[in-house]
């Protein structure tokens, strides 16, 4: 791998940005720490170096999310990892400038409507340039796509039912705001049914059964997830739905926030609705959480598959969701720099790099099990 600085992390001073930076440093990949505030970026580098136990090969790149400020930096790199959300509010100049400057684009969004929007507007353009357009390259929702690809190895499976279960979930500030704008937006919680996107109810929770648990757990669509968007045009898949059991300590607070939204803001114009959800996110924010660990933030992704004559299931252990988000972002960057992209355009990590290859890599790092 070249020692040139060919990776840029935008929004690098935030919680997830620092974790991605640490994972890049562990792979000896030089990169730019980019964002709007130089002091915050400098402080973030110190935290990353403390966690890493050594200096890191990172350079600060100060830029707002405007093409004129982004362009000089993007022209230097091959891979842009965008960690600045809410993405529908902040992400357009970043993905547009990445395309203009011939950069592979990855982000850590959980916002289904953002992912669908950039798929429709830029998917073909990225593909024609041989570039990767890879939103949701994060625990939510890359992990589910990897599990789904395992299940789809069984010929005849055409329906996917996924559940993410997380112990002691700790959403970051950016994740909280992104999630609130999704659940309080009636056009951004979709599941796939008979090749059509259908809307989840905004204010309803569900009970799910997870293997190895003696009781049912409360779950939410959590914005709809990205798996239905990745598979909506896939000839193998007719149905796909995703629910998330984040933990009662999160679910109940979110249900209260949704109720307040329905009472106070559902009637407002879209811009005012999103301002309301941002303000609610500020109220719910309890500061940057500690870095997650495999012993505390344990997780499984359960993917059940069904066809006319077949069924299959893969229970994927994948703990420490934010730490794994850092790992899958760094793994994707490394593979792109090494010329290991399997499929360009709008892709999940699973189809861009191969789900079996990724499972092997993360199994070696201690993150996940392998299919039997």
Q: Are 41 and 60 in contact (CB under 8 A)?
A: yes
CATH topology match: 7-138+322-364 vs 139-320? no
Residue 298's pLDDT is 92
Q: Are 172 and 286 in contact (CB under 8 A)?
A: no
Residue 44, CA distances (Å) to 11, 15, 47, 58 in order: 11, 9, 5, 11
Share of the chain above pLDDT 70, in %: 93
Residue 187's pLDDT is 60
- Comparing CA positions, the residue from 206, 202, 179, 177 lying closest to residue 190 is 202
Q: Tens of pLDDT along 262-288?
A: 888 878 887 888 788 778 777 765 567
Q: Tens of pLDDT along 168-212?
A: 876 655 666 666 766 666 566 899 999 999 999 878 899 999 998
Q: Tens of pLDDT along 62-119?
A: 999 999 999 999 999 999 999 998 898 899 999 999 999 999 999 999 899 999 999 9
Gap between the Cα atoms of 298 and 291, Å rounded:
13
- Comparing CA positions, the residue from 169, 132, 179 lying closest to residue 337 is 132
Tokens of 175: 């994740």
Average pLDDT rounded to a whole number, residues 325-338: 98
pTM over 0.85: yes
Kindly report the number of other CB atoms within 10 A of residue 369's CB atom.
Answer: 14
Class of domain 139-320: alpha beta
- Looking at 3.20.20.70, 3.40.630.30, 3.40.50.720, 3.30.930.10, the CATH number of the domain 7-138+322-364 comes to 3.40.50.720
Gap between the Cα atoms of 218 and 241, Å rounded:
16
- For residue 86, whether the previous peptide bond is cis, meaning omega lies within 30 degrees of 0, is yes
Q: Are 44 and 20 in contact (CB under 8 A)?
A: no
Residue 125's pLDDT is 98
Domain boundaries, the chain: 7-138+322-364, 139-320
Cα 351–chain centre separation:
15
- Comparing CA positions, the residue from 132, 228, 236, 223 lying closest to residue 181 is 223
**For all residues of the chain together, what is the average pLDDT?**
92
């Amino acid at each position: 791998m070249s020692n040139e600085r060919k990776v840029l992390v935008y929004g690098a001073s935030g919680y997830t940005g620092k974790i991605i930076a640490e994972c890049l440093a562990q792979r000896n990949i030089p990169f730019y720490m980019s964002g709007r505030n130089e002091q915050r970026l400098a402080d973030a580098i110190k935290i990353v170096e403390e966690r890493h136990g050594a200096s890191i090969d990172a350079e600060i790149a100060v830029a707002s999310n405007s093409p004129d400020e982004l362009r000089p930096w993007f022209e230097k790199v091959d891979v842009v990892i965008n960690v600045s959300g809410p993405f529908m509010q902040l992400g357009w100049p970043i993905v547009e400038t990445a395309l203009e400057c011939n950069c592979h684009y990855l982000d850590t969004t959980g916002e289904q409507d953002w992912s669908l929007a950039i798929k429709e507007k830029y998917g073909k353009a990225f593909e024609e340039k041989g570039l990767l357009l890879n939103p949701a390259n994060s625990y939510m929702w890359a992990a589910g796509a990897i599990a789904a690809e395992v299940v789809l190895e069984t010929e005849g499976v055409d329906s996917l039912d996924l559940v993410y279960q997380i112990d002691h979930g700790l959403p970051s500030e950016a994740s909280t705001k992104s999630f609130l704008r999704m659940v309080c937006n009636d056009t951004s919680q979709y599941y796939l049914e008979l090749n059509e996107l259908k809307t989840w109810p905004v204010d309803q929770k569900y009970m799910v059964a997870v293997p190895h648990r003696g009781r049912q757990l409360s779950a939410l669509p959590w914005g709809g997830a990205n798996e239905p968007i990745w598979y909506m045009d896939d000839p193998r898949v007719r149905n796909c739905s995703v629910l998330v059991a984040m933990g009662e300590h999160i679910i109940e607070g979110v249900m209260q926030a949704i109720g307040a939204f329905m009472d106070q803001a559902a009637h407002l114009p879209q811009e005012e609705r999103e301002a309301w959800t941002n303000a609610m996110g500020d109220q719910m924010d309890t500061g940057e959480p500690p870095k997650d660990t495999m012993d505390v933030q344990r997780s499984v992704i359960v993917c059940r598959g069904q066809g006319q004559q077949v069924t299959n299931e893969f229970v994927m252990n994948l703990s420490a969701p934010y730490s794994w988000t850092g790992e899958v972002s760094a793994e994707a960057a490394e593979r792109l720099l090494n010329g290991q992209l399997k499929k360009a355009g709008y892709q999940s990590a699973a189809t861009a790099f191969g789900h079996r290859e990724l499972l092997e890599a993360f199994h070696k790092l201690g993150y996940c099990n392998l299919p039997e």
